[in-house]
Amino acid sequence: MKSRTSFFNPTLYRKNLTRFWTLWGLTAFFGALVPISGITMRLNGLLDMNAAEFALLYYDGVCYFAPAATLCYAILCAQAVWSYLYNARSVGMMHTLPISREGLFVTNFLSGLTMVAIPWAVVGVLCVILSLMCGAFSWGPLFLTVLCVLAEGVLYFSTATAAAFVTGNVFALPAFYFLFHFLAPMLDALITTFSSNMIFGLSTRVYTGVVDWLSPTVYIMKNVSPNSVYVERPIPGHPDITESVLQSVTLEKAWLIGVYMLVGLALLGVAYALYRYRKSECAGEVIAMRWGRPVFRYGISALFALGGGQLLYILLFNSFDIDESPYQVLPLIFCMFLSGAIGYYATSMLLAKTSRVFKGSLRGLSIVAAGCVAVCCVVGFDLLGVARRVPSADSLKYIRLYTANNTYYLLPGDDDAVIEELRDVHKAIIADRDYIQNELKNDSQKGEIDFTKNAYVTFRVCYYLKNGLSVYRDYFLWLDKDRMAEPGTYDNALDRFINSTEMKLRRLRFNDPRFKVEHGNISLQLRDDGFELSSRELEEILYAISEDTKAGAWGQYDWFENDASTYAVYLNFWYGVQDSMIPRSIDNIAVYLRPGMTSTINCLKKLGYLKDSDLITRAEMQKIWEERDKMLNPSDFSEEIDPSEITLEDIVYPSDEVSTETAAVFPQTAPVTEPVTNPNAPDSQDSSPQTPAESSAASSAN
* Distance from C-alpha of 643 to C-alpha of 651, rounded to nearest angstrom: 13
Phi-psi region of 413 (alpha: psi -120 to 50; beta: other; left: phi over 0): left
Residues pairing with 522 in the sheet: 531, 571
* pLDDT (0 to 100) of residue 163: 94
Query: Does 644 have pLDDT greater than 70?
Result: no
Query: Does 686 have pLDDT greater than 60?
Result: no
* pLDDT (0 to 100) of residue 263: 95
Query: Does 515 have pLDDT greater than 50?
Result: yes
Sign of the dihedral defined by the CA atoms of residues 254, 255, 260, 266, in that order = positive
Distances (CA, A) of 357 to 290, 362, 603: 17, 11, 81
Query: Does 61 have pLDDT greater than 60?
Result: yes
Query: Does 461 have pLDDT greater than 70?
Result: yes
Residues 45-78: b if buried by 16+ CB within 10 A, e if exposed: eeeebbbbbbbbbbbebbbeebbebbbebbbbbb
Query: Does 406 have pLDDT greater than 90?
Result: no
Residue 663's pLDDT band, with cuts at 50, 70 and 90, is very low
- In the DSSP assignment, the letter for residue 661 is H
Of the candidate ranges 174-183, 340-349, 624-633, the one whose mean pLDDT is the lowest:
624-633
Q: Which of 209, 172, 478, 481 is nearest to 350 (CA)?
A: 172
What is the rounded average pLDDT of the residues 8-14? 90
Query: Does 700 have pLDDT greater than 60?
Result: no
Over residues 335-371, the pLDDT tens digits come to 999 999 999 999 999 998 888 889 888 999 999 999 9
Find the radius of gyration of the CA atoms of the chain.
Answer: 34
What is the rounded average pLDDT of the residues 36-46? 90
Of the candidate ranges 403-412, 583-592, 680-689, the one whose mean pLDDT is the lowest:
680-689
What is the rounded average pLDDT of the residues 580-587? 69
What is the rounded average pLDDT of the residues 278-296? 87
* Average pLDDT for the chain: 83
What is the rounded average pLDDT of the residues 469-490? 89
The domain ranges of the chain are 10-288, 294-380, 400-446+461-498
Over residues 64-94, the pLDDT tens digits come to 999 999 999 999 999 999 999 998 888 888 8
- Do residues 545 and 510 make contact, with C-beta atoms less than 8 angstroms apart? yes
Residue 454's pLDDT band, with cuts at 50, 70 and 90, is confident
**Is this prediction's pTM over 0.85?**
no
* Higher pLDDT among residues 297 and 698, named by residue: 297
Query: Does 178 have pLDDT greater than 50?
Result: yes
- Do residues 339 and 405 make contact, with C-beta atoms less than 8 angstroms apart? no
Over residues 111-124, the pLDDT tens digits come to 999 999 999 999 99
Over residues 596-617, the pLDDT tens digits come to 889 999 999 999 888 888 888 8
In the sheet where 569-577 sits, what is the strand order? 529-533, 515-524, 569-577, 586-592
* pLDDT (0 to 100) of residue 50: 86
* Distance from C-alpha of 240 to C-alpha of 145, rounded to nearest angstrom: 38
* pLDDT (0 to 100) of residue 585: 67
Over residues 137-176, the pLDDT tens digits come to 889 999 999 999 999 999 999 999 999 999 988 889 999 9
What is the rounded average pLDDT of the residues 663-667? 39
239 three-state secondary structure: strand
What is the rounded average pLDDT of the residues 245-261? 91
Residue 682's pLDDT band, with cuts at 50, 70 and 90, is very low
